């Protein structure tokens, strides 16, 4: 596998090419909203050397919910790695919620200048 991770050092993320490619295939405004949502709400996840996590999320674009799944991994002592992203339907998102596999929104709004993961 010839994937070179991209590092976003300010936020502590590594971003693989599959994730970037998936974002590029989505409408630019929606991709920006998803990136900002992940940046603002994805907290530290438990390290696991053997598996990745799939977490659901939702953003709104012109009052329409856009549901997505992001694949992440974290090994011991490493940054969170964003490995892939998919737009999913609402039923799949609700399944992820019922499994507790979703990005929980931060209780405090983010007012700083965004440092997007793009």
Tell me, what CATH number does 88's domain have? 3.30.2310
Whole-structure pTM value: 0.81
CA atoms within 13 A on the CB side of 18: 12
- The band of 1, judged by pLDDT with boundaries at 50, 70 and 90, is very low
* Residue 95, both tokens: 């399944």
Q: What is the mean pLDDT of residues 21-43?
A: 93
Beta strand 6-8 with 80-87: parallel, antiparallel or unpaired? Answer: unpaired
**Would 61 be classed as within a structural domain?**
yes
Please, which residues have CB within 8 angstroms of residue 98's CB and are 6 or more apart in sequence? none
Q: What is the mean pLDDT of residues 15-19?
A: 92
Rounded-to-10 torsion of CA 12, 16, 18, 21: 70
**Would 49 be classed as within a structural domain?**
yes
Number of domains in the chain: 1
**Would 111 be classed as within a structural domain?**
no
Helices (H), the chain: 17-24, 28-41, 90-98
Mean pLDDT of the chain: 84
**Would 34 be classed as within a structural domain?**
yes
Judging by beta carbons within 10 Å of its beta carbon (0-12, 13-18, 19+), is residue 87 exposed, middle or buried? middle
* pLDDT at residue 27 greater than cutoff 90: yes
- The band of 14, judged by pLDDT with boundaries at 50, 70 and 90, is confident
* pLDDT at residue 107 greater than cutoff 80: no
- Which residues span the domain enclosing 64? 6-98
**Would 107 be classed as within a structural domain?**
no
**Would 76 be classed as within a structural domain?**
yes
* pLDDT at residue 33 greater than cutoff 60: yes
- The band of 45, judged by pLDDT with boundaries at 50, 70 and 90, is confident
**Would 106 be classed as within a structural domain?**
no
């Amino acid at each position: 596998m010839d994937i070179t991770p991209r590092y976003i050092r300010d936020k502590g993320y590594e971003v693989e090419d599959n994730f970037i490619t998936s974002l590029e295939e989505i409408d630019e405004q929606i991709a920006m909203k998803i990136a900002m949502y992940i940046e603002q709400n994805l907290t530290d996840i438990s390290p696991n050397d053997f598996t990745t996590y799939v977490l659901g999320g939702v953003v709104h674009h012109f009052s329409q919910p856009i549901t997505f799944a992001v694949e992440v991994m974290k090994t011991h002592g490493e940054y969170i790695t964003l490995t892939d992203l998919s737009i999913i339907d609402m039923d799949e998102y609700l399944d992820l919620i019922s499994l507790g596999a979703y990005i929980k929104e931060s209780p405090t709004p983010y007012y700083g200048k965004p440092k997007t993961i793009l």
